[in-house]
Structure formats: structure tokens, C-alpha cells
Structure 1
Amino acid sequence: MTVHIIETVDGFKETIAKNSIVVIDAFATWCGPCKAIAPTIAKWSESDEFKDKIYFAKFDVDHLPDLSQELGIRAMPTFIVFKDGEKVDEFVGANPPALQKLITKYVQ
């Protein structure tokens, strides 16, 4: 498992449809906190705690402004949790302990 890059709105829809639990990272290339937390997210995607249980994906808000608007992204990074195609949670900011606690709720 790794952090998958979402390139299109259709790619986003396919991602949340095909995977039971998805954590989406809405980031911007110019965002310092986004860059700071990215290695942590990558590490989690490979960890025994989350791999094979949670699908990690990310998209650049500047490349997909329509998706950013549809999801209501107002700040970066924003993490959105989808379960069975439905948005179930959201977290704004680069706070690894708080984000990990939120994600852990969805590990089956």
C-alpha cells in the first residue's frame, strides 16, 4: 500500500467506490504543513496498523479545483474519511497524533 495520487474527479469517485475505507489528503504543493505531514501519511500507509485496511489517497487542490469545491475544502491539509462511498469524518491541519486517533476509529 502507498498513498495514491488522484488526478481526476472520476478517479476520486472510482477510489471511494472501490475501497471500503478511504482517507483523502487534500493538499497544495506550496503548503508547508502539507509537506510536513506527507511522510507520516506515507509511513502509515505501509504500517501494519493501517495497510490492507485503509486506502490512502491525495489530490492537489490547485489541480482539481472542482473537487476541492465539491468537498468543501477551505484549508490545507484537509483529510476526509470515506466509508462505503460516504463521507464520515474530516480533519483539518497537520497534527499527526490527532489525525492518527481519528483514522484509527475506522480500522476494522
Structure 2
Amino acid sequence: MSVSITSSAQFEKILSSSSIVIVDFYADWCSPCKAIYPTYQSLAIKYTRPNKITFVKVNVETSPEISQRYGVTAMPTFMLFKSGSVTKTIRGADPRQLTNAVEAAVTQAGPAAPMYSSVGRTLGDSSRPKTTPASSFITLGWMDTIIRFFALYFITLFAIDSYGAGERSSFNVNTALKRSVHSSGIKPARTATLAGKKLGTIADLGGS
């Protein structure tokens, strides 16, 4: 949308804060001004960017000091400013000429900044997303559990005394916990033990 100028101070502030400024100098009694206004307003709606591209309206009767400063003698008159300086002046209600001039100014202003910006990845990108300490800890925990499981499985599979071998194995979490408790000097709480039948040796089988 276009901005209605009410003072010279407001006009100067917009010129200093916006890269591109398109000004419509008009009068309420001007029929050509009214005829081209829909074109100007549609361009303003389409191309306005805060602090980048600004469309303003200056009534030559209520703000004569601005129109006199820039030598406006006919209505409508359109002026395009870039970095505070006039780059183009269009006199008369010519929709095609106005549209071409505005689109050229928009091109000079450059592309609009993206609304949302984030780090993305494309196909074939060799970069990998960074892993957090928590995710690394969870991964290592699962790997440790799997290694312990298979280690105990093979130890008990090939041992004659499978139960005892499993109990004494360094891969047994209970054994590791007992060693940790004993080394710290803390007396472990009494826990229930699993009752199981130990496999005898080959000599025991012969004796029976």
C-alpha cells in the first residue's frame, strides 16, 4: 500500500530509510490522477517491501513545499528515488510507462530476502548433520548392551560350567556393579539370587 505524506519531515524520513521510493504527486481535482491511481496502487501492493521499496502519495495542494522543491508543475507526476536521489521522472498518466519504470526500479533493488532461513541439505551433499551428546550417548548405550549380550551368549555356549562362566564374566553387568561397589567401600544390599542347577563336569557324569 502507498503512504500518504503529511509533512516534509515524514517525506525526508522515508527517503533516508528506504532504498527505493516511488512518489505520486497528485491533486484531488485532477482527473488523469484518478484514472491512473488504480495502476499505481496495484504496483504498490505488489512491490512494497519494508525499508526497501516504498510507494508514497504527495498532494501538491496540502504539501506545496515538497512539490516546489522538486519542480513539479503538472499532475500527475511520478518520481523514482534511489538512495535519496531522483533517478526518473514521469509526467502524465501513462500506465505502461509507469509500470515499466517501477519494475526496473524493483530489479535494481534486488531480490527479496527469504521469509524463513535455515540450513538445508541437497542431494549429493557430503555434509552430515551434527550429532548431539545425548544422541551419541544413547547410541553408545545400545551398542554396549548388544556387545555384552553376544559376549555372554558365546561364553556360556562353549563353557562347561555355563552358569558360573556367565557369573564370572566381565561382561556381566552385575559382576561389574559388584566390583564397583567393593572398590568404593560401600556394602552392597542383599539381593535375591537366581536358583539354578550347575552343569557337572565329564568326570561327575562318569561317577554317576
Q: Same fold (TM over 0.5)?
A: yes
Query: Does residue 51 of the first structure (1) align with residue 48 of the second (2)?
Result: yes
Q: Which runs of 5+ in 2 are unaligned?
A: 111-208
Q: CA deviation at 1:44?
A: 1.1
Question: What SS does the aligned partner of 1:29 have?
Answer: coil
User: Counterparts of 1:46 and 1:93 in 2: how far apart (Å)?
Assistant: 21
Q: Give the SS at the match of 2:14.
A: helix
In structure 2, the partner of 1:14 is: 13
Residue type of the alignment partner of 1:59 = V
Residue of structure 2 equivalent to 1:99 = 98
Q: Which residue of 1 aligns with 2:67?
A: 68
CA shift, 1:54, in A, is 2.4
Q: Secondary structure of the equivalent of 2:105?
A: coil
Aligned residues: 105
CA distance in structure 1 between the partners assigned to 2:43 and 2:67 by the alignment: 24
Counterpart-to-counterpart distance in 2, 1:43 and 1:98? 15
Task: Please give the alpha-carbon distance, in whole angstroms, between the structure 2 residues aligned to 1:102 and 1:73.
Answer: 18
Structure having the higher helix fraction is: 2
Give the TM-score normalised by structure 1.
0.92
Amino acid at match of 2:28: T
C-alpha distance after superposition, 1:2-61 (max 9, x if no partner): 0100001111111111100000000000000101111111111112xx232521101100
Deviation at residue 85 of structure 1 after TM alignment:
1.0
CA distance in 2, matches of 1:13, 1:5: 13
The structure having more radius of gyration, on CA atoms, is 2
Considering only aligned residues, what root-mean-square deviation do their CA atoms show, in Å?
1.0
What TM-score do the two structures reach when normalised by structure 2? 0.49
After TM superposition, what 4+ stretches of structure 1 lie above 4 angstroms from structure 2?
none
Matched residue, 2:24: 25
Higher relative contact order (CA 8 A, sep 6+): 1
| Residue in structure 2 matched with residue 81 of structure 1 by the alignment | 80
* Whole-angstrom distance in 2 between the partners of 1:29 and 1:61: 9
CA distance in 1, matches of 2:2, 2:63: 17
For residues 61-105 of structure 1, give each alpha carbon's deviation from its aligned partner in whole angstroms, at most 9, with x where no partner exists.
Answer: 001111111010010000000101111111011111111111111
Runs of 5+ in structure 1 lacking a partner? Answer: none
Which has a greater percent of strand?
A: 1
Identity of aligned residues (%): 36
